[in-house]
């Protein structure tokens, strides 16, 4: 897929570099490329989900603001529905954040390597992207440099745990950054469930009106295919999100599925605990392979330096039907793969396959 020049000439000039997104989610036996929940919904929820979805009236438009879901989330967080905006996946909310608070000629601070969507959407919307690179050695954020950049920024994009490196941002550092800017600060907590308790920045929204925390049902909560995420912030910021969003972007099936998940959050605890222990087991096993460097991280994935990453990814897929993410093109990530933590058997297969490939490559 490529946009022909004749068509590209008709598009807005700031879109000159864009090509159609095709996540190359090749179908294969072991999917460790997108940080999904490889178990799916807990068995205990399957019947209830079928019943809930069967009752959905698809001839009617959905509730634009997903108020049923907002109320459940608010009760869970000890907040009010005015503190929450629901979106068609976290990605839509990132787009809406930049649509509302970024735009042409405005400054967006990004800390690469980070979630690729940030830079993509920011540039699509004509924002000036100010990059504050993470440390080459361990991908820690350069907080002093972020504070300086934040002082003249309209939007600051932070990720904790970070994708693809897995680093957490300290809450004190997030507070410092909030104090340093007159713009809006996003803390993307897509992977917060896999981090130690007390790592979240949600409670800081009481202190900082312009702080936005992002959560998603796609990673820990097994609904990547349903597309649902939410932001938590002050009512004023939430109203700005509500003003720019496409009114019916969160469909009725998705709202019903997400409501069910919120009502049964505790059913996911065994999966989350297992993923955290598998992450440690996998990190040890991978670090044992000669030539592999594992970066410690707090998501449901590991960043791993293997050397010839593109070739290793292709061989994992072609010879072992295992899909991982080649992130070697991301800033500071030369030679690196991002590998999701899957089921124990899948993780074992990945470790064995990677060991074999790297022995042969040597």
Provide the binding-site residues for ligand PLP, judged by CB under 6 A.
Answer: 89-91, 115, 159, 163, 188, 190, 216, 218-219, 224, 229
Q: Tokens representing 117? A: 């969507």
In the complex, least distance from residue 139 CB atom to ligand PLP, rounded to whole angstroms: 14
* CA separation, residue 147 to residues 69, 123, 131, 227, 251 (Å): 35, 22, 12, 33, 39
Q: Tokens representing 49? A: 């989900």
In the complex, least distance from residue 218 CB atom to ligand PLP, rounded to whole angstroms: 3
Identity of the residue, 111 or 354, whose beta carbon is nearer to ligand PLP in the bound complex: 111
Cα(108)–Cα(320) distance, integer angstroms: 41
Identity of the residue, 108 or 285, whose beta carbon is nearer to ligand PLP in the bound complex: 108
| DSSP string for residues in 25-54 | ----SEEESS---TT-S-HHHHHHHHHHHH
Cα(228)–Cα(215) distance, integer angstroms: 9
In the complex, least distance from residue 91 CB atom to ligand PLP, rounded to whole angstroms: 4
In the complex, least distance from residue 352 CB atom to ligand PLP, rounded to whole angstroms: 27
Return the axis-axis angle of helices 67-77 and 252-263, rounded to nearest 10°: 20
DSSP conformation class of 168: P
In the complex, least distance from residue 9 CB atom to ligand PLP, rounded to whole angstroms: 31
Identity of the residue, 66 or 218, whose beta carbon is nearer to ligand PLP in the bound complex: 218
In the complex, least distance from residue 33 CB atom to ligand PLP, rounded to whole angstroms: 12
Contact 70, 81 (CB under 8 A): yes
Cα(110)–Cα(331) distance, integer angstroms: 12
Identity of the residue, 216 or 328, whose beta carbon is nearer to ligand PLP in the bound complex: 216
Contact 164, 303 (CB under 8 A): yes
Identity of the residue, 90 or 183, whose beta carbon is nearer to ligand PLP in the bound complex: 90
**Matching residue, tokens 């990059």:** 131
């Amino acid at each position: 897929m490529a946009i022909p020049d004749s068509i590209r000439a008709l598009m807005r000039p700031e879109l000159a570099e864009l090509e159609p997104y095709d996540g190359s989610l090749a179908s294969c036996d072991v999917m460790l490329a997108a940080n999904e929940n490889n178990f799916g919904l807990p068995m205990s929820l399957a019947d209830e989900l079928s019943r809930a979805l069967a009752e959905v009236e698809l001839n009617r438009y959905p509730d634009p603001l997903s108020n049923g879901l907002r109320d459940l989330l608010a009760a869970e967080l000890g907040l009010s529905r005015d503190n929450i905006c629901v979106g068609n996946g976290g990605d839509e909310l990132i787009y809406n954040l930049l649509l509302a608070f970024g735009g042409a000629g405005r400054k967006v601070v990004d800390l690469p390597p980070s979630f690729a969507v940030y830079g993509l959407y920011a540039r699509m919307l004509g924002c000036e992207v100010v990059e504050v690179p993470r440390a080459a050695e361990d991908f820690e954020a350069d907080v002093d440099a972020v504070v300086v950049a934040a002082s003249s920024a309209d939007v600051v994009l932070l990720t904790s745990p970070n994708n693809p490196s897995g680093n957490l941002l300290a809450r004190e550092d997030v507070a410092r950054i909030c104090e340093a800017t007159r713009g809006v600060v996003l803390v993307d907590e897509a992977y917060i469930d896999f981090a130690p308790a007390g790592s979240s920045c949600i409670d800081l929204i009481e202190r900082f009106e312009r702080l936005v925390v992002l959560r998603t049902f796609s990673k820990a909560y097994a609904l990547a295919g349903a597309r649902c995420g939410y932001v938590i912030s002050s009512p004023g910021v939430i109203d700005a999100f509500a003003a720019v969003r496409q009114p019916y972007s969160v469909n009725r099936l998705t709202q019903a599925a997400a409501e069910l998940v919120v009502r049964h959050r505790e059913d996911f605890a065994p999966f989350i605990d297992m993923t955290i222990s598998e992450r440690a087991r996998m990190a040890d096993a991978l670090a044992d392979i000669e030539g592999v460097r594992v970066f410690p991280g707090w998501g449901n994935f590991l960043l791993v330096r293997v050397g010839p990453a593109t070739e290793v990814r292709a061989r994992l897929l072609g010879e072992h039907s295992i899909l991982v993410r080649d992130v070697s093109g991301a800033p500071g990530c030369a030679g690196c793969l991002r590998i999701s933590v899957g089921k124990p058997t899948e993780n074992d297969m990945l470790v064995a396959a990677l060991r074999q490939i790297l022995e042969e490559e040597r």
